[in-house]
């Protein structure tokens, strides 16, 4: 009798990405960003990434950012990973337009301090509270990132979508004793609030968001890397 192969952690992520879709109505002037529906290259390269680092059945701890940005996951399909980091840190070639995201710079410096991509991704899975991103046109006519919490109207629109997709990702094989959150303000507050209601995790540990660190605290970057590593050490 033929043995049926178990789905790996990678298989579950790839399937999730290909099927994630928001079907509700959005507030006026806000557009959704779904790289898995809009960009075949993001589907292809993220599949290679997850097959490389998650092709097993190990349990992992979840790290949740805010929502995908235009130059990181919006292009590569991998949270906090721009095309430069794909090539230099993950040894994965990207055929599309090169992108640079400051958050990715910090995250991979931290990952290297932890012991490298292979060791880090064997323990952690990074995604976002809201798995899809948003954009808006500012008063200068430029398209910019928009966060799920930037207006109550948008938060209310995607609230159920967020809950459903956190549940789905926990089912991949996530350890629920502790969840790490990128963002100590609105993102952490929202995550704590829904966690009080749904009891996803025993504990949530907020960490300063990589973008905040790179934009406002870059001279103290090493202190934040050390803080991240200290908090991550509790799961060893």
- pLDDT at position 52: 98
Number of neighbours of residue 219 by Cβ within 10 angstroms: 7
Please report, for the chain, the start and end positions of each structural domain, with discontinuous segments joined by +.
Answer: 31-235
Reduced 3-state DSSP string for 161-193: HHHHHHHHHHCCCEEEEEEEEECCCHHHHHHHH
Is pLDDT of 216 > 80?
yes
- Find out whether 188 and 65 touch, Cβ atoms under 8 Å: no
- pLDDT at position 4: 57
236 falls in which pLDDT band (50, 70, 90)? Answer: low
Classify each residue of 3-26 as buried b or exposed e, where b means 16 or more C-beta atoms within 10 Å of its C-beta: eeeeebbbbbbbebbeebebeeee
Is pLDDT of 78 > 90?
yes
- pLDDT at position 71: 73
- pLDDT at position 193: 97
Is pLDDT of 173 > 90?
yes
CATH among 3.30.1330.10, 2.20.25.10, 3.40.50.720, 3.40.470.10 for 31-235:
3.40.470.10
Please classify residue 203 by burial: count the beta carbons closer than 10 Å to its beta carbon, then call 0-12 exposed, 13-18 middle and 19+ buried. exposed
Is pLDDT of 79 > 60?
yes
Give per-residue pLDDT as tens, 91-107: 999 887 788 889 999 99
Query: The tokens 């509790």 sit on which residue?
Result: 234
Question: Rounded mean pLDDT of 73-99?
Answer: 90
Is pLDDT of 112 > 90?
yes
- pLDDT at position 5: 63
- pLDDT at position 100: 87
Give per-residue pLDDT as tens, 181-210: 999 999 999 999 999 999 999 999 999 999
**Across the chain, what does the average pLDDT equal?**
93
Question: Rounded mean pLDDT of 139-167?
Answer: 94
Q: What proportion of the chain, given as a percentage, has pLDDT over 70? A: 97
39 falls in which pLDDT band (50, 70, 90)? Answer: confident
């Amino acid at each position: 009798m033929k043995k049926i192969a178990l789905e790996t952690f990678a298989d579950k992520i790839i399937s999730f990405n290909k099927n994630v879709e928001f079907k509700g109505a959005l507030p006026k002037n806000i557009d959704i960003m779904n790289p898995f529906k809009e960009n075949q290259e993001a589907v292809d390269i993220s599949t290679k990434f997850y097959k490389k680092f998650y092709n097993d059945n190990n349990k992992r701890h979840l790290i949740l950012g805010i929502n995908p940005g235009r130059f990181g996951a919006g292009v590569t399909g991998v949270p906090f990973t721009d095309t430069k980091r794909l090539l230099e840190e993950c040894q994965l070639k990207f055929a599309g337009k090169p992108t640079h995201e400051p958050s990715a710079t910090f995250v991979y410096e931290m990952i290297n301090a932890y012991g490298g991509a292979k060791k880090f991704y064997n323990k952690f899975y990074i995604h976002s509270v809201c798995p899809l991103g948003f954009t808006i046109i500012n008063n200068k006519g430029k398209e910019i990132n928009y966060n799920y919490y930037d207006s109550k109207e948008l938060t209310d629109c995607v609230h159920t979508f967020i809950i459903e997709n956190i549940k789905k990702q926990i089912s991949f094989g996530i350890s629920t004793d502790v969840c790490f959150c990128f963002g100590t303000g609105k993102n952490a507050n929202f995550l704590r609030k829904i966690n009080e209601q749904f009891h996803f995790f025993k504990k949530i540990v907020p960490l300063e968001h990589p973008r905040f660190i790179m934009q406002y605290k870059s001279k103290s970057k090493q202190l934040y890397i050390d803080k991240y590593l200290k908090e991550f050490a509790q799961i060893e």
